[in-house]
Amino acid sequence: MNTITLNDGVKIPQVGFGTYQIPPGKATQDAVAYALSCGCRHIDTATAYFNEADVGKAVRASGVKREDLFITSKLWLQDYGYEPAKKGIDASLRKLGVDYMDLYLIHQPYGDVPGAWRAMEEAQAAGKIRSIGVSNMTVKIWNAFVPQFETMPSVNQIEYHPYQQQKAIRALMAEKETALEAWAPLGQGWGGLLQEPLFADLASKYQKDVGQIVLRFEVQEGAIVFPKSVHPERIKSNLQVFDFELTDDEMAAIRALDKGAGMHDPDTPGFGEWLLTKYDVHADEK
């Protein structure tokens, strides 16, 4: 498995397993367990996925040493601000059943992000988190918040796939050596991405499936990817993208598919307020 060294020196496996929209309980536990059995060592979850505890159960049952795993979670909007974030970080650690998280992210960049970031910096200094980053930051949002940070984000987890290649924010991130993490690396079925004839042709040439072609493009572009699936054959194949390489011409052809827009625009007015009405990560405490 390839690794990428983040701007804080932490090494992260370039391909992992995403758990977004996998229901909590047995579905998450089984999917994570299978991914780990296939050699995956990078698991991505979040408070607002409501499956941190199940990720933790699967990890403990796997027998894989904690130091051989890379576990990511994310702080939700309800816990932004300095004091709430401290509690949110400890809640994620408790649910996961771990002493530290390898990466912890600002999940949605709205509200008291600077206060939450300060708590994350303190947790990093205390050894509760190895690396801290952000998610869904556009150029506008980055410029509003990141100049206030003492620590530069190690990653920005954003929508990224051949139809949405995020050139503007990637250029800004490169200045700070902030790595790109791709959510929806396979497009989540959006826009007919996986039906592109170019991918079918390349899949035939390399004897791979279309998903592997898309993931290989992203890996060669330097992205960290964690495709989600609950299907064993897909979980396994998504990890098998390091035994072939696309040519320069093929990479250029895929870059030309960029539409400059995707499923989600974080700059949409009122989106942060809407998210607060959609997810209540403290519902079980009421």
Q: Which residues pair with 101 in a beta bridge?
A: 129
For residue 227, give the 3-state DSSP assignment.
coil
Burial 163-186 (b: 16+ CB within 10 A, else e): bbbbeebbebbeeeebbbbbbbbb
What's the distance, CA 161 to chain centroid? 13
Q: Choose the catalytic residue: 20, 34, 49, 110.
A: 49
DSSP H helix total and E strand total for the chain: 11, 10
Q: Is 49 a catalytic residue?
A: yes
Beta carbons within 8 Å of 51's beta carbon, 6+ residues apart: 19, 22, 23, 24, 25, 28, 45
DSSP state of 182: E
Q: Any idea which residues carry the catalytic annotation? A: 49
